[in-house]
Amino acid sequence: MSKDVDKLLSMMRQAPAKAAARPEAPQKTYDVAFDTLPQYQQIKFQREFAKFAELTVPYYRMHETRSGAEAIIHGQTLTNFASYDYLGLNGHPEIVAAAEAATREFGTSVSASRISAGERQVHRDLELALAKNYEAEDCIVFNSGHAGGVSTIAALVGPKDLIVHDALIHNCIVVGAQLSGATRRNFPHNDLDALEKLLAAERSRFERCMIATEGLFSMDGDGPDLARLIEIKQRYGAWLLMDDAHALGVLGKTGRGIFEHQGVAPGGVDLWFGTLSKTLVGCGGYVAGSAVLVDLLKCHAPGFVYSVGMPASVAAASAKALAIMNAEPERVAKLQANSQYFLARAKARGLDTGDAWGYAIIPAIVGETVRTLVLAERLQRRGFNAFPILPPGVPEKSARLRFFINATHSEAQIDAVVDATAEIMEDIKDISARSFISGAIKGA
């Protein structure tokens, strides 16, 4: 038997390797250039139009220092209304010290996914503090907010399930729903009557159902009726995912989020989703809920299991920021007072603020895209930074400037930017893409 094996191995070593059959080259020529992709052509067109119209492209402008109520961009000091730092905590000495201490102890990376070798006590400290905020059993933190949203949905639903979300929900929920294979439906913004009709017509066709919305919408500065949402999800046997990213630190007497703002017990929400990049001045995302939910996500959410753990410095910084938020409710009160002041002044000057509640996020809706870009550029010339939001980030004909208010803005700064915005809006009311093109052709 052994001689037969030796002979067979000898023959295999001596036999010439057979050349694999080579398929014929395709007759058709395929385009593999990235710059021919339709989405890149759109980018190219937008840049060429901006150059043609002598407009500054507002994206990826270089900030030269930490940004709060003020920012330095290309050497110009601006009053800044484009920062998530709602409570003015970025750079707080206690937070910096917490990050430095964690870095000295654990380095700049935990060097592995948490499931293998990246688990540190600082992660659990942050998770338990967030769970306490939502009166939940546990919490999981991801090193990316967007990946956290996508991964959470990927771990919970599939082709036999239904996801129903507000039409203006954040992109991470949309992408997660698309990749999950679940059937996806949306309902008009904050229209809970439409949500009920949709569920009545379709819920029974699916095994599981998830309803997703936001506590404070990042483009409009408004939110839903939480108590009614909980009642609807209970009646139709659904999970409720609440994206509280912009509401934490902003809504409620002590900043705990939409449930505190509306006086609703947080236990009615199945998944409290949020990010660490706003009030908590870090980077990453979280999901708070039942112990079973968190256990499942820690074993099956791809953006957690297959990704390196959050740097200890980030976890420590966000945990300290949450502690300061809880210890200093006057910061929340000042943010809310500034926001209400801005909203009242904007309305008095005739700016279209939509349905904004007047908490941290207040849009000035312009409508026309080019006019919005001109408004942002002229505001910058006058010393203000407010970022333009254009389609597809918002629906067509609803381009706007989005003003982020924080606890460190002064009333004088708010007065100045509102007055400047109203004055410029009046000056540019007749500007459009068509007028720019017509003017350029006449001048040629």
Name the DSSP letter for residue 197: H
Confidence of residue 21 (pLDDT cuts 50, 70, 90): low
Q: pLDDT digits over 319-359, tens only?
A: 999 999 999 999 999 999 999 999 999 999 999 999 999 99
Confidence of residue 20 (pLDDT cuts 50, 70, 90): low
For residue 389, list its beta bridge partners. 400
Beta strands 138-142 and 76-80 are unpaired
Residue 253, token pair as written in the block: 């007497």
The beta-strand segments (E) located in 63-202 are 70-73, 76-80, 138-142, 162-166, 183-187
Q: Which residues contact 166 (CB under 8 A, 6 or more apart)?
A: 186, 187, 189, 190, 212, 213, 214, 217, 224
Is the pLDDT reported for residue 37 higher than 90? yes
> How long is the chain?
444
Distance CA 156, CA 181 (A): 11
Beta strands 399-404 and 361-367 are antiparallel
Distance CA 231, CA 378 (A): 47
Arithmetic mean of pLDDT, 156-168: 97
Distance CA 305, CA 142 (A): 10
Q: What percent of the chain has pLDDT over 90?
A: 82
Is the pLDDT reported for residue 366 higher than 50? yes
Helix/strand/coil (H/E/C) assignment for every residue in 129-140: HHHHHCCCCEEE
Q: Which H or E run includes 273? A: strand 271-275
Q: What percent of the chain has pLDDT over 70?
A: 92
Is the pLDDT reported for residue 438 higher than 50? yes
CB count within 10 Å of CB 51 equals 11
In CATH, what class is 93-327?
alpha beta
Looking at residue 11, what is its pLDDT?
Answer: 55
Say what the alpha-carbon torsion angle 239, 244, 245, 250 is, to the nearest 10 degrees. 180
Looking at residue 388, what is its pLDDT?
Answer: 94
Is the pLDDT reported for residue 55 higher than 50? yes
Name the DSSP letter for residue 118: I
Arithmetic mean of pLDDT, 207-221: 97
* Domain boundaries, given as residue ranges, for the chain: 60-86+329-443, 93-327
- Work out the mean pLDDT of the chain and round it to a whole number: 92
**DSSP letters spanning 291-343:** HHHHHHHHHH-HHHHTSBPPPHHHHHHHHHHHHHHHH-HHHHHHHHHHHHHHH
Is the pLDDT reported for residue 1 higher than 50? yes
Q: Which residues contact 12 (CB under 8 A, 6 or more apart)?
A: none
Ranking 230-234, 402-406, 434-438, 440-444 by mean pLDDT, the lowest is 440-444
Q: In the block, which residue shows the tokens 């200890």? A: 312
Looking at residue 25, what is its pLDDT?
Answer: 66
Arithmetic mean of pLDDT, 383-411: 94
Is the pLDDT reported for residue 167 higher than 90? yes
Looking at residue 12, what is its pLDDT?
Answer: 47
Looking at residue 193, what is its pLDDT?
Answer: 98
Q: pLDDT digits over 105-140, tens only?
A: 999 999 999 999 999 999 999 999 999 999 999 999
Is the pLDDT reported for residue 166 higher than 60? yes
Distance CA 84, CA 367 (A): 24
Name the DSSP letter for residue 251: S
Looking at residue 22, what is its pLDDT?
Answer: 72
Q: pLDDT digits over 79-109, tens only?
A: 999 999 999 999 999 999 999 999 999 999 9
Arithmetic mean of pLDDT, 158-173: 97
Rg (CA), the chain: 26
Q: Is the peptide bond before 392 cis (omega within 30 degrees of 0)?
A: yes
Looking at residue 373, what is its pLDDT?
Answer: 93
Arithmetic mean of pLDDT, 262-274: 98
CB count within 10 Å of CB 144 equals 20
Select 60-86+329-443's CATH number: 3.40.640.10, 3.40.190.10, 3.90.1150.10, 1.50.10.20: 3.90.1150.10
Q: Could you give the C-alpha distances from 305 to 184, 258, 289, 296, in angstroms and in order?
A: 25, 30, 18, 11
Distance CA 103, CA 106 (A): 5
Say what the alpha-carbon torsion angle 299, 300, 304, 309 is, to the nearest 10 degrees. 20
Q: What is the pTM of this model?
A: 0.90
